[in-house]
Amino acid sequence: MKDFLTRNKAIIAILLGAVMVAGAIYFSGEKNKSIFNKEIKQEVQEVSKKNDNGESLPTIEVACQNIPELKDGALKLVTKIIDGDTFLIEGGYAVRILGIDADERDHPCYEAAKNRLEELILNKKVKLEKGGEDKDQWCRYLRYVFLNDKNISLELVKEGLAVARFSPKDTKYQKEIVAAEKQARENKIGCKWLSENVAIKTEKAINLYWEKLTPELTGLKVINACEAKNYYGKEIIVEGKVFNTYRSKTKTIFLDFEKSYPHQCFSAVIFSSDQYKFAENPEKYYDQKTLRIRGKILKYQEKPEIILKDPLQIELGKEKI
């Protein structure tokens, strides 16, 4: 045995070293895994915290597959309401309600929608039903939400606190939610439609002047945003108030004029590749502002829009002193 150990001591030393290295890697991996999972949770909570403070949601640079699986139809306790379409469930994970879009902080109906969602589901167990996608780019679960068989998306739209919004992958319940919005809008129910009327009246009372985008300097006609649908394919200047804004999953920014999506009169669109040319966070900077937009009017999903590629295409109206 002694001779065996003497002759093979080099091999034994190598084997022992390999075992020690493997053990170190394993325990280090388990430690890092624990830290990584903790950081993921903190980042998800940080997203919700920032959103609650009215700041733009940052992109989380982690793989969403590390967020625990949430089975279709799972019952979860709601622990915090972020706004009218986002909340936290037990464990600190965020859920974005499908089928609707509610106002962010500093928008007219933020408080009304958030308060109503608190009344409906806070500290209650809700059923979370999957749509076409499991999570968004911020690792929030995307779910239709039910409380005692009541569709929360439908309820908020019926009460005029949110608008219908569907992606091509998520059209479940679309018919009834869109119909509910139509009824709320026509009957001027809730904050969304009342605030719209006030915003338009306020806009007409403001006397503004323009330094660059004028007929004299450009040779182009100036039209109201709600007239844009009559000028497809023409180079023109569109004037109106940005009623709400939206940043899509592909980071494209939409400035919707005079009315809430999907009933906007006109949209100005800034693709992510061009956003560095404009003011920081254009969706915040231009929100609720009166603008003139220059460009060729295109038709997208039966709505007029202009693609903004240069900041010279946009001007913020100035009040006369």
- Tokens matching residue 54: 């009215």
| Cα end-to-end distance, the chain, whole Å | 102
Domain residues for the domain of 174 are 64-192
Among the candidates 129, 162, 192, a domain finishes at: 192
Identify whether residues 218 and 310 lie together within a single domain.
yes
CATH of the domain at 230: 2.40.50.140
Residue 204 predicted with pLDDT over 50: no
Identify whether residues 185 and 291 lie together within a single domain.
no
Question: Per the structure, how many domains does the chain have?
Answer: 2
Among the candidates 138, 169, 192, a domain finishes at: 192
Active-site entry in 30, 116, 140, 185: 140
User: Residues 39, 91: contact at Cβ < 8 Å?
Assistant: no
140 an active-site residue?
yes
**pLDDT confidence bin for 261, thresholds 50/70/90:** confident
The pLDDT, as a whole number, for residue 230 is 87
Average pLDDT, the chain: 81
User: Residues 143, 98: contact at Cβ < 8 Å?
Assistant: yes
Identify whether residues 217 and 276 lie together within a single domain.
yes
**pTM for this one?**
0.48
116 an active-site residue?
no
- Tokens matching residue 293: 């937009």
Q: Does residue 185 belong to any structural domain of this protein?
A: yes
- Tokens matching residue 223: 């039209």
What is the pairing mode between strands 318-319 and 208-209? antiparallel
Distances (CA, A) of 10 to 16, 23, 24, 276, 306: 10, 20, 21, 61, 75
The answer to which of 23-32, 174-183, 214-223, 295-304 has the lowest mean pLDDT is 23-32
Active-site entry in 7, 46, 90, 96: 96
The residues that bridge with 95 in the sheet, in sequence order, are 87, 141
216 an active-site residue?
no
Span 153-164, mean pLDDT? 94
Among the candidates 162, 192, 222, a domain finishes at: 192
Identify whether residues 136 and 223 lie together within a single domain.
no
Contacts 24+ apart (CB under 8 A), 59-62: 59/137, 59/138, 60/137, 60/138, 60/139, 62/139
The answer to which of 17-26, 53-62, 87-96, 174-183 has the lowest mean pLDDT is 53-62
**pLDDT confidence bin for 312, thresholds 50/70/90:** very high
Q: Does residue 81 belong to any structural domain of this protein?
A: yes
The pLDDT, as a whole number, for residue 291 is 95
Q: pLDDT tens, 262-284? A: 888 899 999 999 999 998 889 99
Identify whether residues 222 and 154 lie together within a single domain.
no
Residues 6+ apart with CB under 8 A from 17: none
Span 5-9, mean pLDDT? 53
Residues 6+ apart with CB under 8 A from 10: none
CATH of the domain at 163: 2.40.50.90
